[in-house]
Amino acid sequence: MFGGQAPAAVVRGMVTRDQLWKGLIEDFFPQLLDFFAPDLAQQADLTRIEFLDQELDQLAPDDVGRNRRVDKLVKLLLADGKETMLLVHLEVQGYPDKEFPLRMFTYAYRIFDRYGVMVEALAILTDDRKNFRPEAFEVHNVLSRLQYDFTIYKLLDKPRETFVDNRNPFAQALLIAQDSIGRKRSDKALLSQKIRLYRRLFELGYSKVEIEKIGGFIKYYTRFSEPEMNAIFDKSITELTKKEEGMGIIERIQNAYKQAGIEQGKQEGIQLGKQEGIQLGKQEGKLEGELSGRINSLARFLLTSAAKGQTSKELAEVFQLPLTLVRKLQKGHTFTQEEVHQWVVKLNSRKQH
């Protein structure tokens, strides 16, 4: 165990950032689409994804510095049976490039010329220059005018909260990349940061395979100045992994979702209960709010891969909910506030008897 394997692009020797991003795109493309283009993700058949790497190499503009960027062309089949293409362009290192809009346009017209499809284009910018925002290519003369607009995602603009509690693997990768923008840390501080990010993967309930892939991204994206720090990191991650894997299922779920849902949901529920308490009575309103919080926490948990294989009885014990209620949630039932109120009345009645 060496602190997580790098994604699909691991090679012998130096692992570069462009390799890490390419591997992450290949390993988690449905999640990438859901993060950056949720509307497109809903229209696409994500079981039929085709990466057109060789085709893109033939279409790529002839320029220097291609090791400082990542380009992926993906063919998608939409729900209506039509095909479309998505060009994902990611600037790995920030550098002045006045030809960037032209390069995006060159891709677009070459793809259109080859396939007859107007490509969906997304440019992810990880640089540290606030004023670098190329969003269009434009040329014109006396009688003609051409403008090509494309979507950019400027990582520097986004608040950290956008990524911290987002379980999408790409959100965690972007958090790692954002933490490295314009910052130089000591090896000791960097070690603490990497271990903290790795531990967060367990807290968010990722599967073992997901942790290995994103863990590789954490390990290689920002490097220690002293190579021997890698061994210290590997040892720390090995110990952390053994500790997490040694937990029983109840202990694991409690640990993973203590911060991510249960406590937060309870506090939100208490506030909701206090508002409803004007009509329902303060004590009853508080109980109703707490129950709403636990229901919401379990509902969020059931959307994650960590919920797979867990029995209704185990979930009822962890989230302190009646077994019948848990089973309804597992079947996709959405509880109204009136139903929550009825459950509180029923539970209170049981306590009194």
pLDDT tens-place string over residues 248-272: 444 445 555 544 444 455 455 545 5
The pLDDT confidence band at residue 280, using thresholds 50, 70 and 90, is very low
Structure confidence by residue, pLDDT tens digits, 168-191:
989 999 999 998 887 778 899 999
Alpha-carbon span 229 to 233, nearest angstrom:
6
pTM reported for the whole predicted model = 0.64
Alpha-carbon span 91 to 124, nearest angstrom:
6
The pLDDT confidence band at residue 275, using thresholds 50, 70 and 90, is low
Structure confidence by residue, pLDDT tens digits, 94-138:
565 788 899 899 999 999 999 999 999 999 988 888 888 889 999
For residue 136, the SS3 value is: strand
Please say if the pLDDT value at position 47 is more than 70: yes
Among 56-70, 155-169, 182-196, 325-339, name the one with the lowest average pLDDT.
56-70
Residue 110's pLDDT is 93
Return the percentage of the chain with pLDDT > 90, whole number. 29
Residue 1's pLDDT is 38
Q: 73 and 111 in contact (C-beta within 8 Å)?
A: yes
Residue 63's pLDDT is 60
Is the sign of the CA dihedral 201, 206, 207, 209 positive or negative? negative
The two beta strands, 83-91 and 120-125, are parallel
Please say if the pLDDT value at position 48 is more than 80: yes
Residue 207's pLDDT is 86
Residue 121's pLDDT is 92
Among 100-104, 160-164, 287-291, name the one with the lowest average pLDDT.
287-291
The pLDDT confidence band at residue 61, using thresholds 50, 70 and 90, is confident
Residue 67's pLDDT is 53
Q: 75 and 52 in contact (C-beta within 8 Å)?
A: yes
The predicted model gives 14-37 an average pLDDT of 89
Closest CA to 32 of 7, 55, 57, 54: 7
Residue 92's pLDDT is 67
The predicted model gives 139-161 an average pLDDT of 93
Is the sign of the CA dihedral 284, 288, 289, 294 positive or negative? positive
65: left (phi over 0), alpha (psi -120 to 50) or beta: left
Among 67-71, 94-98, 110-114, 288-292, name the one with the lowest average pLDDT.
94-98
